[in-house]
Amino acid sequence: MAYHRSVAKSLTYTDGYRNSNTSTQMSVVKKTADIDAMGDIQKGIKRGVDIVGALLGMIILSPVYVIIYAIQKIDGKGPVIYSQERIGLHGKPFKIYKYRTMIEGAEEDGVPQLAQQDDSRLTKVGKMLREHHLDELPQLWNVLVGDMSFVGYRPERKFFIDMIMEKNPAYEQLFCSRPGVTSMATLYNGYTDTMDKMLQRLDMDLDYLKNRSLWLDMKIIGKTILSIVGWKKF
- What is the C-alpha to C-alpha distance for residues 153 and 150, in angstroms, rounded to an integer? 10
How many C-beta neighbours within 10 Å does residue 154 have? 22
What pLDDT score was predicted for residue 22?
A: 37
- What is the C-alpha to C-alpha distance for residues 211 and 143, in angstroms, rounded to an integer? 22
- What is the C-alpha to C-alpha distance for residues 40 and 176, in angstroms, rounded to an integer? 12
Average pLDDT estimate for 42-47: 97
Quick one: which of 167, 203, 211 has its CA closest to 185? 203
pLDDT in tens, 105-163: 666 666 777 766 667 778 888 888 988 899 999 999 999 999 999 999 999 999 999 99
Count the domains in the chain: 1
pTM (2 decimals)?
0.83
36 domain residue, yes or no? no
Annotate 33-79 with DSSP letters as a single string. Answer: HHH----HHHHHHHHHHHHHHHHHHHHHTHHHHHHHHHHHHHH-SS-
31 domain residue, yes or no? no
Per-residue pLDDT band for 24 (boundaries 50, 70, 90) equals very low
77 domain residue, yes or no? yes
Handedness of CA 114, 117, 122, 127 (dihedral sign): positive
Q: Which residues pair with 98 in a beta bridge?
A: 82
115 domain residue, yes or no? yes
119 domain residue, yes or no? yes
131 domain residue, yes or no? yes
Per-residue pLDDT for 32 more than 80?
A: no
- What is the C-alpha to C-alpha distance for residues 23 and 179, in angstroms, rounded to an integer? 26
37 domain residue, yes or no? no
Boundaries of domain holding 51: 2-25+46-229
39 domain residue, yes or no? no
Dihedral in degrees, nearest 10, Cα atoms 185, 191, 192, 196: -60
Per-residue pLDDT for 225 more than 90?
A: yes
Residue 180, classed as helix, strand or coil, is strand
Average pLDDT estimate for 6-24: 41
What pLDDT score was predicted for residue 25?
A: 43
How many C-beta neighbours within 10 Å does residue 25 have? 17
Quick one: which of 35, 46, 51, 39 has its CA closest to 174? 35
Name the least confident of 143-157, 163-177, 180-194: 180-194
